[in-house]
Structure 1
Amino acid sequence: MSFLELTALTKNFDGLRAVDGFSLDIPEGSLNALVGPNGCGKSTLFNLITGVLKPDAGQVSFRDQDITGWPPHRIARLGIGRKFQVPAIFEELTVRENLTVAAKRSGNRVSIDTILEKINLADRRDTFGGELAHGQKQWLEIGLLLAQAPSLILLDEPTAGMTGAETKATADLIRTINQEQAITVLVIEHDMGFIEYLGCPLNVMSKGQILKSGSFDEIRNDAEVKALYFGNTVVPADA
């Protein structure tokens, strides 16, 4: 059975083709990354998967079911959760209250204490969301997704604005979610150091299409990728 299958997805905006016949198959239980320069169509692709946008052509299939163009709330109920670049948390509620609200909204029975431990916020459970450091807010939003018991998580630049230590801790968190909870994860990211920490297969996107797919080392050492998108100084050979 196919898990998430994207077939020839296309999306145009006023004559600009943001996604151009994009196809990708994401196996269940996998951890994958999607990288590429600004404007290459990564976030638009996430919008097509989650129903925020309807494709002009192509198909989104989840567990062998065609969900193309479904409304976002209906897609979310299938177990597809998305984290945006800017953390969307309830700043006036405590960390525990944030997670409790998310769990109740989804109707899932989850252990809030387990989630608190997993996202490294057990000692901040009574802290208001607005008082958290930026990296902690990002972790809390990942926790909000876990409270909904998803089978697929889409992460849009989850380490934006983080310190080096927070970035590494976030990579550890994502690997744990994937490996221990068997949650399929697809990550959009610019930070190749973070992608290296993840140690997962990655796909390079260019002009709305997949340019290259492979391991971190394969992509890092690809001359076309270096020259066109990352540059030799961004992804050094000995990184």
Structure 2
Amino acid sequence: MSFLELKSLTKNFGGLCAVDGFSLDIAKGSVNALVGPNGCGKSTLFNLITGTIRPDSGEVLFAGVNITGRPPHEIARLGIGRKFQVPAIFDELTVRENLIVASRKQNDRTAQADILAQIHLEDQADTLAGELAHGQKQWLEIGLLLAQAPALILLDEPTAGMTAPETRATAELIHRINRDRGLTVLVIEHDMGFIEHLACPVHVMSKGKILKSGNFSEIRNDADVKALYFGTAEETVDA
């Protein structure tokens, strides 16, 4: 059953078509990855889903409700959370205090402890967020999303700047919250090693459209995707 339905979404900026009739169905409780070159429309697509910008045409349906063009705060209340590439945390607060601020139920210490355990920051609960390692800051922001009790989370390059062990741990974290919380997850990412660790359906975006969809092996071995990634097509990508 489709949980997030993107129907023929189109968005133009002047003479540039950033998203061009984009359609995609995301099943409830699934993890999906969206990859593609810089400028292909991935972040614009997230902006359309979250109401940051309105599409010129097309629809966004979430849990059967048409949310096209609704303001971001309404969409967030309906259960869609978004993590940006650069961590947005409160550096001057402790990890625990960050979660309290973000929580819908600020006095629910049990729920906050569960999140700390899931993001592997229970030992840093009383550490100032600004003192965390880069990867830990990324995990804390995912924790802030969990504190808002979303049903769908959108992650924009969650492993940017991470070490290889942190990248593997992030893939494990995403699978853990998907399994334990039943969350639906859509990830934008350039790191194909991370995508391989995710072992989920992969959708390749090019020029505002879906070029190919499949599992990691199918995508990695596809001739059109190879051309896109290695520069024999018109676009190149940071692999």
Check conservation: 2:37, 2:238, Cα contact below 8 A.
no
Q: What residue number does 1:23 align with?
A: 23
Q: What is the DSSP-based 3-state SS (H/G/I as helix, E as strand, rest coil) of the residue aligned with 2:5?
A: strand
Amino acid of the structure 2 residue aligned with 1:59: E
Check conservation: 2:87, 2:138, Cα contact below 8 A.
yes
Check conservation: 1:192, 1:235, Cα contact below 8 A.
no
Sort the Cα spacing of 1:108 and 1:13 in 2 relative to 1 into closer, same or farther, 3 A: farther
Aligned partners of 1:95, 1:107: CA distance in 2, in Å? 14
Deviation of the 1:2 alpha carbon: 3.5
Between the two proteins, the alignment pairs up a number of residues equal to 234
Aligned partners of 1:176, 1:23: CA distance in 2, in Å? 28
What are structure 1's unaligned runs of at least 5 residues? none
Q: What residue number does 1:32 align with?
A: 32
Q: What is the DSSP-based 3-state SS (H/G/I as helix, E as strand, rest coil) of the residue aligned with 2:51?
A: coil
Q: What residue number does 1:144 align with?
A: 144
Aligned partners of 1:88, 1:154: CA distance in 2, in Å? 14
Aligned partners of 1:59, 1:111: CA distance in 2, in Å? 34
Q: What residue number does 2:227 align with?
A: 227
- Spell out the pairing of 1:37-52 with structure 2 (5 A cutoff): 37-52=37-52
Aligned partners of 1:193, 1:17: CA distance in 2, in Å? 30
Q: Find runs of 4+ consecutive structure 1 residues off by over 4 angstroms.
A: 106-110
Deviation of the 1:223 alpha carbon: 1.1
Q: What is the DSSP-based 3-state SS (H/G/I as helix, E as strand, rest coil) of the residue aligned with 1:111?
A: helix
- Spell out the pairing of 1:7-156 with structure 2 (5 A cutoff): 7-104=7-104, 111-156=111-156
Amino acid of the structure 2 residue aligned with 1:8: S
Q: What is the DSSP-based 3-state SS (H/G/I as helix, E as strand, rest coil) of the residue aligned with 2:204?
A: strand
Amino acid of the structure 2 residue aligned with 1:126: D
Return the TM-score normalized by structure 2: 0.94
- Spell out the pairing of 1:186-205 with structure 2 (5 A cutoff): 186-205=186-205
| 1:158 and 2:158 matched | yes
Deviation of the 1:75 alpha carbon: 0.1
User: Deviations for 1:127-173, whole angstroms, at most 9, x for unmatched residues?
Assistant: 11111111000000000000011100000000000000000000000
Q: What is the DSSP-based 3-state SS (H/G/I as helix, E as strand, rest coil) of the residue aligned with 1:174?
A: helix
